[in-house]
């Protein structure tokens, strides 16, 4: 996935001379996760810009560049480092296009390595996607495979609205095929990655692979899970989700963030409204707990596991009695 993101950024830089990259240590070092490795050498320091240690300054500068027609891809080194830029993002990035009545577009991508699973210290394993999905004017997406990483980053750069681009850092080293000719799907479309008949399970980012493992385990017990990669957290692809839930009659949403006021809570509420007479059980959420992200030796207790997902599936069947 890291190589696919690098290749996608390279292609975006090649296709449009107004595409710039900005972030801490993205140039000479190539980024903490080496996503931008080699790009400074090939495109120069005026397009791959090592910035000072100031997230607010990075985003504020990118806002000005966007107003002049540049398309800037800003890297937040880790998820928990985005908060110093929160005021800029929700007060300026999200609102300038509407405030100017479309005079200014905001072609700005904020790359956000998110979720845990790497044994990191505090502020390095958070899931802040709900903050941004709650903010009108922002679009929030997450890739789960190398193919999607390659294409989604290019689609995000081409979008005239600002994108929060969530990258599951624990999957940077996952391998997978990439079709370099065809994306196959739009930036804001969900994807059914495994057909099933009994339960719709929805996730995004690092949890798509976990859901597929859970589906394999459930199949041994005779239960067929339909796995959906949400891909776009905001806006939601309700057509794909509604179609699946109406088929299966059961819904389970899996996320690493706590469940309170979360993406999972929104999905359960919206799909209950759309599919009330099709559901055979209330929708459920399997999530992180409502506590700050724990120290590394406890993170696998906190993060949703295959066992916790299967327990959620079991609870959906309790309503059949």
b/e map 18-51, b = 16+ CB within 10 Å: ebbbbbbebbeebbbbebbeebbeebeeebbbbb
DSSP 52: P
Q: Residue 250: which of 232, 269, 275, 220 has the closest Cα?
A: 275
Residue with tokens 């799909």: 271
Q: How far apart are CA 307 and CA 217, in angstroms?
A: 9
Of 124, 259, 274, 290, the catalytic one is 124
Strand partners, 172: none
- In contact, 218 and 225? CB cutoff 8 Å: yes
Query: Helices (DSSP H) in 141-199: which residue ranges?
Result: 146-158
Distances (CA, A) of 250 to 78, 178, 244, 312, 321: 35, 32, 9, 11, 15
Give the residue carrying structure tokens 């998820």.
79
Structure-token match 């966007």, residue found: 66
d(CA 123, CA 113): 11
For residue 178 the two structure tokens come to 């990439």
Which two structure tokens, joined as six digits, stand for 166? 């969530």
Question: Can 182 be counted among the known catalytic residues?
Answer: no
SS3 readout for 236-280? CCHHHHHHHHHHHCCEEEEEEEECCCCHHHHHHHHHHHHHCCCCC
* 198 neighbors 223 (Cβ within 8 angstroms): yes
Whole-number Å distance between alpha carbons of 244 and 117: 29
Give the residue carrying structure tokens 């791959």: 48
For tokens 């994306």, name the residue. Answer: 183
How many whole angstroms separate alpha carbon 221 and alpha carbon 267? 27
Catalytic residues: 124
């Amino acid at each position: 996935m890291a190589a696919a993101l690098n290749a996608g950024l390279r292609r975006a830089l090649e296709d449009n001379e107004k595409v710039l990259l900005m972030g801490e240590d993205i140039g000479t070092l190539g980024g903490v996760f080496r996503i931008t490795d080699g790009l400074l050498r090939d495109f120069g320091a005026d397009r791959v810009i090592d910035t000072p240690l100031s997230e607010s300054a990075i985003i504020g500068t990118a806002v000005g560049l966007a107003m002049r027609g540049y398309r800037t891809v800003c890297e937040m080194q880790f998820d928990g480092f985005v908060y110093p830029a929160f005021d800029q993002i929700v007060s300026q990035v999200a609102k300038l296009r509407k405030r100017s009545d479309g005079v200014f577009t905001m072609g700005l991508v904020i790359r956000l390595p998110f979720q845990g699973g790497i044994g990191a210290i505090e502020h390095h394993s958070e899931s802040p996607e709900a903050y941004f999905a709650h903010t009108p004017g922002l679009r929030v997406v997450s890739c789960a495979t190398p193919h999607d990483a390659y294409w989604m980053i290019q689609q995000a750069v081409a979008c005239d609205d600002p994108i929060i681009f969530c990258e599951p850092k624990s999957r940077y080293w996952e391998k997978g095929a990439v079709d370099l000719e065809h994306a196959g799907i739009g930036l804001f479309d969900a994807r059914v990655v495994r057909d099933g008949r009994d339960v719709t399970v929805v996730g995004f980012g690092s949890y798509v692979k976990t859901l597929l493992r859970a589906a394999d385990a459930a199949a041994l017990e005779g239960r067929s899970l339909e796995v959906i990669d949400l891909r776009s957290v905001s806006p939601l692809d309700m057509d794909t989700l509604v179609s699946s839930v109406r088929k299966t009659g059961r819904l389970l949403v899996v996320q690493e963030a706590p469940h309170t006021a979360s993406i999972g809570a929104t999905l359960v509420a919206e799909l209950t409204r759309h599919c009330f007479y099709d559901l055979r059980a209330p929708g459920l959420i399997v999530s992180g707990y409502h506590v700050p992200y724990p120290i590394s030796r406890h993170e696998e207790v906190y993060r949703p596991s295959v066992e916790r997902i299967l327990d959620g599936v079991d609870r959906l069947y309790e309503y059949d009695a």
